[in-house]
Amino acid sequence: MANEWLLIGMIGGFLAMMLIGIPVAISLAVSGFVAGLLGFGPMLFGLLPQRLYGVVSNYTLMAIPLFVFMGVMLEKSRVAEAMLDTIGYAMGRLNGGMGIAIVLVGVLMGASTGIVGATVVTVGMLTLPTLLRRGYAPSVACGAICASGTLGQIIPPSLVLILLSQIVGESVGALFAAAFIPGLVIALTYMLYLAVLGWVRPDWVPAVPAAERATISRRQLYRDLMATVLPPLGLVVAVLGSIVGGVAAPTEAAAMGALGSLLIALLGRKLNLATLKATLHGTLTITAMVYFILLFAQVFSLSFRGLGGEQMVHDLFNMLPGGEIGALLFLMLILFVLGFFLEWIEISYIALPMFLPVFIGYGTDMVWLAILVAMNLQMSFLTPPFGWALFFLKGVAPPEVSTRDIYVGVVPFVGLQVLAVALVFLFPGIATWLPQAIGW
C-alpha cells in the first residue's frame, strides 16, 4: 500500500511541477528520484547507467537530429514560403481555395520538416494577414493554419513515429508505412471541410480576386510549381521510399534527407552562412530538448516499474468492461485528456509505457495501436489551454486576431481529427493494409 501512495505522489508531483513551469526533464528526474529513493533507496538505480547508455547509443534514435536538420534547413531557406505562394495562386479561384492550399502545404511541410512550430509560424506569418485582407473569417483562417501545422506529427517522417517505434517495439519503416494513409485521410477531411464551407458560407472563405490572379500567367504558374514543389516532394519520396522499401535504415535515410535539404537550398540560391548557422542552432536546440526528456524519462519509468506501477495499471484495466476494446477506448480518452495539459513527448514516454503491458497481454496489433496513439497525440497541439500550435500562431498573429478567434477556429478541426481517429479505430485496415502489403 505504501508503494501505491508513492506512485500516486510521484505522478502528482510530476504534474504539479509541470504546471508551475519547471522544465519537463527536471520534473521527470526529481519526481522519479525522490519516489524511488523513498521506496527502495539507492539500490533501485543500479540499472540506470545501462538504461541511459541504451538511449544514447540507440542507432535508430540517431535519425532524430538528422531529420530535424532536414526540416529546419527547409524552413530557414524559405522553401515553404515559395511553395505557399505557388500553391495558393493555383488554388485561388476556388472558394476556400487558399485554405485548401494551406493544408496542402501543411502536408508537404509535414512530410519534409515534421516540426509543428516551424510550420505554424511560417504559414501564419506568410498567410494570415493575406487571408484577413481577402475577407477570410479570422477563426477559419486561424483554424486552418493551426490544423495544417500539426500534420507533420502523423505524416512521415515524424519524430512522434520514430519515438513510438522504440516504445512499442516495431520498426520505424512499419510505422511510417502505417501512418501514410491515415495522415492523408486527416488532410483530406480538412480539405473537404473547407470546400464544403466554401459552398455553404462563401463569405467566410472567398476566392482570390480575379485581378490578383491575373498577375501571374498560367505558364509561369506551371514553371513555379515545377521549381518550388517538385524538389521538396522528390526529397520526401526519396527519404520515405528508401525506408518503407527497405533500401535504407531510418538513420541512413535521414542522412540522405539532410544532404538533400542542403542541395535544395544551394540550388535555390538560399544557402549562406547565416542560414547554415540558424539551421545548426535550431537543430541543436530541438535535439537537446528531445534527448534530455528521453534520458530523464528513464529515471521516472525505472521508479514507476520498481514501485509496482505496472501491476497497478493492470488492476485498473481489469476493472474496465469490454475487454480489449474497452481498454483501447479508455486509453484514447486518457491520452485525449492528457493532451489538454501535456506535450506529446511527455505523454509518449510517461503515460503510454504505463499502459502498454496491458495491450501486449491482449495481443493487440502494436502498429495499429501506435498509429491510434500518434493521431491522438496530434490533437494535443490543438486542444486548449496548452495546445502549442495555438501559442505559436498567437505569437505571430496580427493584433486584430484575438485568442478567442484562434481557440474557436480549431474546434471544428479537433472534431475532424476525432472523426479520423474513430475511422482508424473502426477500420484498422486503414493503418495496417500498407505495411502488410509491402511485407513489413
pLDDT digits (tens, 9 = 90+) for 313-346: 666 666 767 778 888 888 888 888 777 766 677 6
Task: Name which of 307, 326, 306 is nearest 316 in CA terms.
Answer: 326
d(CA 440, CA 177): 9
- Give how far Cα 159 sits from Cα of 12, 32, 53, 71, 189, Å: 27, 25, 20, 11, 23
> Three-class SS of residue 169?
coil
Q: Residues 143-159: what's their mean pLDDT?
A: 82
Query: For residue 236, is pLDDT > 80?
Result: no
- Give how far Cα 358 sits from Cα of 144, 331, 364, Å: 37, 11, 9
Burial of 314 (0-12, 13-18, 19+ CB in 10 A): middle
Q: Residues 212-226: what's their mean pLDDT?
A: 71
Task: Name which of 208, 258, 201 is nearest 65 in CA terms.
Answer: 258
Lowest average pLDDT, out of 178-182, 246-250, 430-434, goes to: 246-250
**Angle CA 255–256–260, to nearest 5:** 120
Please tell me which of 40-44, 48-52, 170-174, 419-423 the model is most confident about, judged by mean pLDDT.
Answer: 419-423
pLDDT, tens digit, for every residue of 385-427?
Answer: 667 677 777 777 778 888 788 888 889 999 999 999 999 999 9
Band (113; pLDDT cuts 50, 70, 90): low
d(CA 188, CA 256): 29
Q: Which cell numbers in the block locate residue 324?
A: 480489449
The predicted structure's pLDDT at residue 317: 66
Band (213; pLDDT cuts 50, 70, 90): low
Q: What is the DSSP letter of 78?
A: T
Q: Which cell numbers in the block locate residue 385?
A: 489551454
The predicted structure's pLDDT at residue 423: 93
Contacts for 365 with CB less than 8 Å, ≥ 6 apart: 428, 432
The predicted structure's pLDDT at residue 316: 67
**Angle CA 156–119–386, to nearest 5:** 95
**Angle CA 21–356–161, to nearest 5:** 70
d(CA 66, CA 62): 7
Q: Output the 3-class SS for 222-269.
A: HHHHHHHCHHHHHHHHHHHHHHHCCCCCHHHHHHHHHHHHHHHHHHCC
Residue 156 backbone zone (phi > 0: left; psi -120 to 50: alpha; other: beta): beta
Q: Residues 30-46: what's their mean pLDDT?
A: 79
> Three-class SS of residue 21?
coil
The predicted structure's pLDDT at residue 4: 73
Tracing cell 534527407 back to the chain, one arrives at 257
Please tell me which of 145-154, 194-203, 221-230 the model is most confident about, judged by mean pLDDT.
Answer: 194-203
Residue type, 226: M
Q: Residues 41-60: what's their mean pLDDT?
A: 74
Tracing cell 530523464 back to the chain, one arrives at 296
pTM: 0.77
Q: What is the DSSP letter of 11?
A: H
What is the DSSP track for 307-328?
Answer: TTHHHHHHHHHHTSTTHHHHHH
Contact yes or no for 127/166 (Cβ under 8 A): no
pLDDT, tens digit, for every residue of 165-195?
Answer: 888 888 888 888 898 899 889 999 999 999 9
How high is the mean pLDDT of the chain? 80
